[in-house]
Every structure is written in C-alpha cells, then in structure tokens.
Amino acid sequence: MSDAVKFQDTKQQITGPAGELELVYRRVPNDRAPVAVICHPHPLHGGTLQNKVVHMLASGLNELGVHTVRFNFRGVGGSQGEFDSGIGESEDLLAVKKWVEAALPGSPVWLAGFSFGAYVAYRSFTEFAAERLILVAPPVTMFEFTEIPEPDVPWIVIQGTDDEIIAAEAVSAWVEQRQHAPEYFLHEETGHFFHGRLNLLKESLKVAIEPQS
C-alpha cells in the first residue's frame, strides 16, 4: 500500500496570531500516538510545507507510527501575514501546537524542523514543551543558537558533510559543545537539501526512534 493511501493528507486552515495558517496533517491508526509538528525552511528562499526534506521527515515519522503536521509560516502559501525573522514564526508554531492539542488530545507532541525551520523549532522548544526534538541542517552560523537553553529531552541532529549553506564543521562543533548531547547523524557526500540522499533522513529516524505501537 502506498504512503498516499496509508497516510492521507488532510488540509486545514486554523487561526494564527497574524491571520489564518495553512497546515496539512496525517493521522496514523493509533489516535494516542505521538504527533510531530514539522517546520519548513526559510520563507524568503522558497521554503514551504511542501519542501521535499519536510515531506520526507513526515513520511519517515508516519512509517514509525507518528502523526505529523506540516504548516506554512505566515506569508507562505495559504498562511496570512508577513515574514518576521523567526519571532512571529515561533508564535505561529505555538498556535499550531494549540490546535494539535485540541485535535489529538493525549498525544505526546514532538517538534522537528529543517534549516530555518530548525532554528524556529530550537528557539521555541521550551515554550512548545516538546517531548522530542528533531533538527535537520540547523543554521547555527546564521541565527542565534548559543544563548538558547539546551534541550533536556531526547533530540536528534541530522547533517550532511557537503552542506553548501551551513558548514558541517560548524554544526559538528555546536553539537559537541552541548552538555545534553543529541544523537548526531553526519552523512557523507550529502548537501543541504539532501539531493539524491533523502532516504538518509528516514534511515536516521529509524535508527533513533523506536516504532510507536
């Protein structure tokens, strides 16, 4: 059975702090399974909830028995408002969590993000109260990461050695400096957008996360 049949996309418009927010969610058979909210890359550089890395994260988590929610930050697609350098986008994320808690009461809530979305996820995870954090290609040299309190929950960082936007050496150094270290996956011959290497995202998730029954 294909992912499209197993994990049907459901589109939704919800109320956000700057107007309506567009989201897509996929439910797995277990209503009380965890639900992962996934943040997309930079809105001013073509980032949307349809980004292929975001899509592959969702598919990988669905296959592990996790509900997923992808959403467009303000000013992207069907979401109203304007880009706000990560501050307003963090508010959008918290609005999505509020919706998730009403839609899937009792489900543990996880948080994931790719590139700019990883920054928004990281800066928001404490207020979001995520039970697990997943970061792909976090832009540690482009945004403020060092002053943010470190996660005290299980977390994962996935990075490519040939990242042309965020130097892998910088990400590796940042990971090594964390007192509560994440599970770190550094993939050889892999660029920022995981061109031709998207299955590595699923492989990393399957190594790090037990299937949810």
Q: Is residue 23 within 8 Å of residue 40, measured between CB atoms?
A: no
Give residue 25's Cα distance to chain centre.
13
What is the C-alpha separation between 77 and 158, in angstroms, rounded? 27
pTM above 0.85, yes or no: yes
Task: Name 158's bridge partners.
Answer: 136, 185
Total length of the chain: 213
Domain at 3-208: CATH code: 3.40.50.1820
Residue ranges, the chain, pLDDT below 70:
1-6
Find the Cα–Cα–Cα–Cα dihedral 187, 165, 94, 176, rounded to 10°.
50
What is the C-alpha separation between 66 and 110, in angstroms, rounded? 9
- The domain locations on the chain are 3-208
What is the C-alpha separation between 139 and 64, in angstroms, rounded? 27
- Name the percent of the chain lying above pLDDT 70: 97
Q: Give 186-197 as a DSSP string.
A: EETT--TT-TT-
CB proximity list for 18: less than 8 A, separation 6 or greater? 74, 80, 81, 82, 84, 88, 91, 92
**pLDDT of 2:** 41
**pLDDT of 213:** 75
CB proximity list for 105: less than 8 A, separation 6 or greater? none
Angle among Cα 49, 88, 158 to the nearest 5 degrees reads 50
